[in-house]
Amino acid sequence: MRSLFRIRNAIFLHDLLMVPVAWFGAYWLRFNLGEIPSEFLSAALSYLPLVMVVQVAVFRFYSLYRGVWRFSSLPDLVRISKAILIGIFFIAVTLFLYNRLHGVPRAVIPLYVFLLLLLLSIPRFLYRFWKDEYLHQRTGKRALIVGAGSAGEMLARDLLGKGDSGYVPVAFVDDDVKKRRREIRGIRVLGTIDDIPAVIEQLQIEILLIAIPSATDSEMRRIIEICESCNIPFQTLPSVRELLSGQVSRGSLRAVSIEDILGRDPVRLDWKAIRESLRDQCILVTGGGGSIGSELCRQLAEVQPRQLLILDQSEFNLYRIDAQLARRHPEIDHVALLADVTDRTAVRRVIRKFRPDVIFHAAAYKHVPLLENQVREAVHNNVIGTSIVAEEAIAAGIARFVLISTDKAVNPTNVMGATKRAAEILCQNLNDPKGTRFITVRFGNVLDSAGSVVPLFREQIRAGGPVTVTHPEITRYFMTIPEACQLIMQAEAVGDGGEVFVLDMGEPIKISYLARQMILLSGKQPGQDVEIEYIGLRPGEKLFEELFHEQEQLQSTGYEKLLLARARRYDKSAWAEQIEALARACQDTDDSAPLAILQKLVPEFKH
């Protein structure tokens, strides 16, 4: 900003000095480059303050000194000409009314206009010529920076300061009208984001650099769609969460990922409340090796718990998160526990030995089509497993229990959703304000989680296609894994017990749009390089997911993206009997009995 201020002052002083040079130069030319008679010289001197005041006022009106020399062109010449002509008009009219232009030869006026036009325009075009030559001498791709904010300015500074950066920034675009035609680091803001195609053609741009870390997901989608239509490479800076250090450089640039398009809205959390709730606590995460569980462990390590217990039945997943935490947070006391949540003996031993203050229950089977034909396994793990962990938590006097649920639990049409809804009701019924407080957090799909659509599409694209989409109109809610985990911790910090928190997932995204974007981001064209094939809905799938039931009235919590669904009440004693019956049914190999009881437990379940 200081550099820009100095540039504007220098341009202002240049234009200011050129006014008296042109004024006296006009007199000098009028008298054939000889001595100016004293009478006319005296008049010229006395009129000079008026000439300068009027001319500078008009210059300011036409914005002639805003640091735009680098891109001086015909429109700038027209603007300079207008400023000079309007200025001399007011000067001539004022002097005529004052003393009939006494002491001002008639030839002085056109000579002044001619001289001032040359003195203001020639330095600007010479500077542009020199700057263009300088840029042509630099090696690298001609880059257009999208975003003229602080991140864009820091990126331009880094690229200009390194001769071997590989990129030569030649212009900015930004939707902020206040930045229009301004100059940053000697590089002009040429237009809006919608002007990108025209700027690319005009300046022969070879790469686009997106420098808007604060862009929302909808804004980022719009930018990416425009960039994709231009058929040249583009890269982006990370989101705000990834740039907390405030350092932006060439090394920060990376290829645009699907997370940039579908999950960029930054979440503003009450970290003070989260730390007060979880710091110096012993925390148990079941399913701690899974996509959500492992990221939750990484996030929890940041708030410095007294001890972090990671329980999972997958040996490899448990080993992986254990090694990551040991490397990233050697100061955190963490324990990897190989166990199954349906093994009551193992769960009881862990809880009684370590006495956790908080349990985050993320262990669950979640693959919808796979579970449709394996009802017993889904019910046993998702319902009975939750019941075992919850009952052992109550028996040990654990203070808080957080169940991680899914949008598929709302009006479920599949076994997985029904089991998660049953787990939600179970936790609501077990909640005791004077004992163990149960909190449920419900959200939709998380990007790039194991078994989700994103890694599937990525693998299909890598194989050359086709990318399989079940239905052209199918939509899903999406959120990044870190964002989901942070909101889970926020819900734990503010929940009193018995609540069902719903994460605001924004607008649902068409899966066909997701497939198309992933193909484009891989550098290929949908329908040409990689086909999109529609294969029909799979068993248990819905076209549209819902985040809350019609009887659950959503309420604000005062926290961004965290909503509260009014819980529906159930007969606790009847429900407890049905859970016992479900546990007995799971001892058999037949799926029909568990399925029948599950339908009684969740009346809205339409299989």
> Residue 589, CB half-sphere, CA atoms under 13 Å: how many?
0
208 to each of 74, 99, 193, 256, 297, how far by Cα in Å?
26, 60, 11, 11, 36
366 labelled catalytic: no
Structure tokens at 586: 């799971």
Is 75 exposed, middle or buried, given 0-12, 13-18 or 19+ CB atoms closer than 10 A?
exposed
- What 91-95 contacts at long range (C-beta under 8 Å, 24+ apart), as own/partner pairs, is 91/47, 91/50, 91/51, 91/54, 91/55, 94/50, 94/54, 95/47, 95/50
Structure tokens at 195: 């002007």
To which residue do tokens 């790039």 refer? Answer: 448
List 478's β-bridge partners, or say none: 445
355 to each of 322, 347, 492, how far by Cα in Å?
20, 11, 18
Tell me which of 408, 420, 542, 561 is the catalytic residue.
408
How many other CB atoms are found less than 10 A from the CB of residue 464? 10
Residue type, 357: D
Range list of β-strands (E), 408-449: 437-443, 445-446
Residue type, 234: F
Residues 139-167, buried b or exposed e (16+ Cβ, 10 A)? ebbbbbbbbbbebbbbbbbbbbeeeebeb
- What 527-530 contacts at long range (C-beta under 8 Å, 24+ apart), as own/partner pairs, is 529/464, 529/465, 530/460, 530/461, 530/464, 530/465, 530/466, 530/467
Q: Are 431 and 499 in contact (CB under 8 A)?
A: no
Q: What are phi and psi of 190, to 5 degrees?
A: -90, -20
User: Cα(192)–Cα(46) distance, rounded to whole angstroms?
Assistant: 47
* Residues whose CB is less than 8 angstroms from the CB of residue 551 and which lie 6 or more positions away in sequence, other chains included: 566, 568
Give catalytic residue positions. Answer: 408
